[in-house]
Amino acid sequence: MNDQSETIKQLNLGQGNTPLIRLYNLEKKLSWKGQLWAKCEYQNPTGSFKDRGSVAEILKALKENKKGIVCASTGNMAASLSAYAARASLRCIVVLPKGTPNSKLQQAIITGAKLVAINGNYDSCVGKAEELAKEKNYLLCGDYETRRIGQRMIGEELAQSKVKIDGFICPVGNGTVGCAISEGFATYKKYPTFIGVQGKGADPLVQAFNKTLSPFTPIRNPQTVASAMNVGNPLDGEITLYWIRKTKGQMISVTDKEILSAQKYLATTEGIFVEPAAAATIVALFKLSQRTTNLVVILTGHGLKGGVLRMAIQDKQPRRVDPKGLRPGEFGDTISTQIPQRRRPEERQSKQQVLRDKFGREIPADFIR
């Protein structure tokens, strides 16, 4: 065994080789003619796909004899890198935007990272991380080449599976994970359709795609309830557009309300609890007019990380929270709500007959509550 594979063995926390599971109930509910699958990236050790790229970056830091690493993060990268830095006995500084869910901060804190909170959005954290990396001579980690190489494994695992895959749906923040998946497939000469999802209000690539523009125009003050993809100036934006166009894919915008409904819908129909960014892929399924293909949704992060609408045990009467009134990141740990009451079966039935979108596709009545 060479030095590098020995180091990888020592860094290993059990990342990768995540399950690929069939979404039988969703297929039925959507009258899907092909097969729907989920790549369960939330089952990685720190609860997101970031662990794959973190191993690659920590390995690089060790090779370059760095004493520490620094990164900007919307939360999951901080949680992941700090865990692998602890495993490698490296120091770790994470720069986070205001509004990062507490649950993700806790993961970084418990593993000993130093947190630098910025009174701004993710894009301003990137500049600060670059500055700190220079000052301390730490390795600058983030959505750069090394991480993308680590995350290609998702595409490689999918390409090697026996499942026939025509396309995949992936949430897009910086665009790194979606591009990495496409690159992973490409190493096997496979080019499944890449369908990217962004939150409305933080969707510069959707706008560029719709207007066939390149380069895209960044959004200065991005706003989506899915904090993990609240990025206005995606680092891999142009490469994302390249892969989307090359694979004849598309970019889809989803609202806060749709994301939160889909999060609950996936949990109630399939028993899978993911964070809002991952749930955005389910909204995209509802919006696709072509329902005969075999698709994989990339479920990037665990629901226990935040974005949970907690039940207000103090409330006697059920009430709804309007997600539009919530600020990204804040709702997960501070706002409480109750599950709306179920409609009677006959009421649901009649609603189902009238719920059709503008293309005439049927939408299950219990999707948007």
Ligand X SMILES: Cc1ncc(COP(=O)(O)O)c(C=O)c1O
The one segment of 13-21, 110-118, 166-174, 200-208 that binds ligand X by CB under 6 A: 166-174
Shortest gap between Cβ of 152 and ligand X (angstroms)? 12
Does the footprint of ligand X cover residue 44 (CB under 6 A)? no
Does the footprint of ligand X cover residue 198 (CB under 6 A)? no
Q: How far is CA 30 from the centre of its chain?
A: 23
Q: At what angle do helices 176-186 and 145-160 cross, to 10 degrees?
A: 50
Does the footprint of ligand X cover residue 299 (CB under 6 A)? no
CA 164/CA 260 separation, integer angstroms:
30
CA 290/CA 167 separation, integer angstroms:
12
Does the footprint of ligand X cover residue 156 (CB under 6 A)? no
Does the footprint of ligand X cover residue 203 (CB under 6 A)? no
Tokens of 100: 């990062």
Shortest gap between Cβ of 24 and ligand X (angstroms)? 24
Binding residue for ligand X, selected from 237, 249, 301, 329, defined by CB under 6 A: 301
β-pairing, 68-72 vs 91-97, is: parallel
Number of residues that bind ligand X (CB under 6 A): 20
Q: Which is nearer to ligand X, 123 or 275 (CB)?
A: 275
Does the footprint of ligand X cover residue 177 (CB under 6 A)? yes
Site for ligand X in 71-130 (CB under 6 A): 74, 76-77
Contact between residue 77 and residue 52 where contact means Cβ atoms under 8 Å apart: no
Shortest gap between Cβ of 322 and ligand X (angstroms)? 24
CA 153/CA 53 separation, integer angstroms:
9
The one segment of 55-63, 70-78, 243-251, 343-351 that binds ligand X by CB under 6 A: 70-78
Strand order across the 68-72 sheet: 114-118, 91-97, 68-72, 139-141
Which distant-in-sequence residues (6+ apart) come within 8 Å of 268 by Cβ? Answer: 366
CA 178/CA 196 separation, integer angstroms:
7
Neighbour-count burial of 37, counting CB atoms closer than 10 A to its CB (0-12 exposed, 13-18 middle, 19+ buried): buried
Shortest gap between Cβ of 44 and ligand X (angstroms)? 10
The closest alpha carbon to 116, from 128, 127, 101, 106, belongs to: 128
Does the footprint of ligand X cover residue 204 (CB under 6 A)? no
**Helix or strand holding residue 266 (H, E):** helix 256-270
Shortest gap between Cβ of 172 and ligand X (angstroms)? 5
- Show the site string, 223-262: x = touches ligand X by CB under 6 A, - = not: -----xx---------------------------------
Strand order across the 36-40 sheet: 20-22, 36-40, 295-299, 167-171, 193-199, 250-254
Binding residue for ligand X, selected from 278, 279, 295, 309, defined by CB under 6 A: 278
Shortest gap between Cβ of 101 and ligand X (angstroms)? 11
Contact between residue 344 and residue 246 where contact means Cβ atoms under 8 Å apart: no
The one segment of 175-183, 241-249, 282-290, 342-350 that binds ligand X by CB under 6 A: 175-183
Shortest gap between Cβ of 174 and ligand X (angstroms)? 4
The one segment of 2-10, 108-116, 173-181, 338-346 that binds ligand X by CB under 6 A: 173-181
Q: Which is nearer to ligand X, 193 or 227 (CB)?
A: 227
DSSP 8-state code for residue 9:
H
Shortest gap between Cβ of 3 and ligand X (angstroms)? 29
Does the footprint of ligand X cover residue 173 (CB under 6 A)? yes
Does the footprint of ligand X cover residue 174 (CB under 6 A)? yes
Shortest gap between Cβ of 360 and ligand X (angstroms)? 31
Give all strands (DSSP E) within the chain, no chain letters.
20-22, 36-40, 68-72, 91-97, 114-118, 139-141, 167-171, 193-199, 250-254, 295-299, 310-311, 336-337
Binding residue for ligand X, selected from 143, 183, 256, 258, defined by CB under 6 A: 143
Binding site for ligand X (CB under 6 A): 48, 74, 76-77, 143, 171-178, 228-229, 275, 277-278, 300-301
